[in-house]
Amino acid sequence: MSMVEKVDTFLAQEIPTLPIDFVVNLVNFLSELDEWNFVDKLAKSIYMHTRASGVRVMTPNFVKILGTTIGVLYNFSSEHVRISVYFSGQNNKDIAVLKLVSSVAETHYKNILKYQEMSNMALYDSLTGAYSKAAGLKLLESAVESVKRTGRDSFIVFIDIDNLKKINDEYGHLKGDEVLKSFAQACIKSMRKTDMLIRYGGDEFLLFVDSGNPEMLLERIKNLSAISFSYGIVPIENDRSLYEILKLADERMYKEKNKKSHAKSSNTLMVI
């Protein structure tokens, strides 16, 4: 008999004798896809709806402790979820319930991990580690509104990697991917926590600089990476929408790129 069948059989037999609040709370923790809320609800469910004198629920990232350590300790450990419960006396029914709760909790925790993985895939660009365009633009909208409310100095930089098409044509797309990843990592290492990097297109990035000196950040990026790039900087101001800022930054970036092309700048792309 599979674990699911065992759980179904047990619940069918025992639900009539279980406290209804316990059953409701069991369903509540199964609805949680946030790891901390899952740990919190699981611990409270066990503490409030069994005769435990103390409960500790642990996952790799969180721990919740309730009650005391008085009594006999029972451990219900699985791969990711560790449940420790203290009982002041022998309690066979609660122990039987907790064995199954432990198995159900472990299965649900694995669902949380899958959900987090899918969320990260939607939030971040898998190649570069920058925010994806869809998620990044939503975050950027909020950041721009925050800047306008507070009146602090912040900028958006539109970045385009120079000669990426040539790299792809001459060395292959794997080399092009290495260039993109290396450049993005140089940006991320140079940024402050409140700055933001977004993968906007194939060879295009948006950089939200939450300070009054974007050139200083760009210099740090250049010092970390030999990859040549063109950029346009626009300050965030009350009279400009995000669309207008991006449009102007894009225009300034292409203006710089054309200047470099016409001047045959010596700042050429170094293949890494």
CATH number for position 245:
3.30.70.270
pLDDT computed for residue 94 by the predictor: 85
- Work out the end-to-end distance of the chain between its first and last CA atoms, rounded to an integer number of angstroms: 56
pLDDT computed for residue 191 by the predictor: 96
10 Å CB burial of residue 199 (0-12, 13-18, 19+) is: buried
Residue type, 141: E
| Structural domain range at position 45 | 3-122
CA distance 131 to 196: 8
pLDDT computed for residue 17 by the predictor: 57
Q: Specify whether 93 is located in the same domain as 22.
A: yes
- Please enumerate in sequence order all residues whose Cβ is within 8 A of that of 196, keeping only pairs 6 or more positions apart, or say none: 131, 136, 139, 140, 143, 206, 207, 208, 210
Torsion on CA atoms 64, 65, 67, 73, rounded to nearest 10: 120
Structural domains in the chain (count): 2
128: in domain: no
Structure tokens at 159: 């970045």
173: in domain: yes
Q: Specify whether 109 is located in the same domain as 140.
A: no
From 68, 97, 122, the end of a domain falls on 122
CA distance 31 to 194: 32
149: in domain: yes
- Please enumerate in sequence order all residues whose Cβ is within 8 A of that of 51, keeping only pairs 6 or more positions apart, or say none: 87, 88, 91, 94
pLDDT computed for residue 92 by the predictor: 82
pLDDT computed for residue 96 by the predictor: 83
pLDDT computed for residue 21 by the predictor: 61
Strand partners, 204: 160
247: in domain: yes
Encode the chain (272 residues) as per-residue pLDDT tens digits. 554 454 445 455 545 455 556 666 666 788 888 999 999 999 998 898 888 999 999 999 999 999 999 999 999 999 999 999 999 877 788 888 888 889 889 999 999 998 888 777 788 998 999 999 988 999 999 999 999 999 999 999 999 999 999 999 999 999 999 999 999 999 999 999 999 999 999 899 999 999 999 999 999 999 999 999 999 999 999 999 999 999 999 999 999 999 887 776 454 444 44
Going by DSSP bridges, is the β-strand pair 72-77/82-87 parallel, antiparallel, or unpaired?
A: antiparallel
Q: Specify whether 138 is located in the same domain as 258.
A: yes
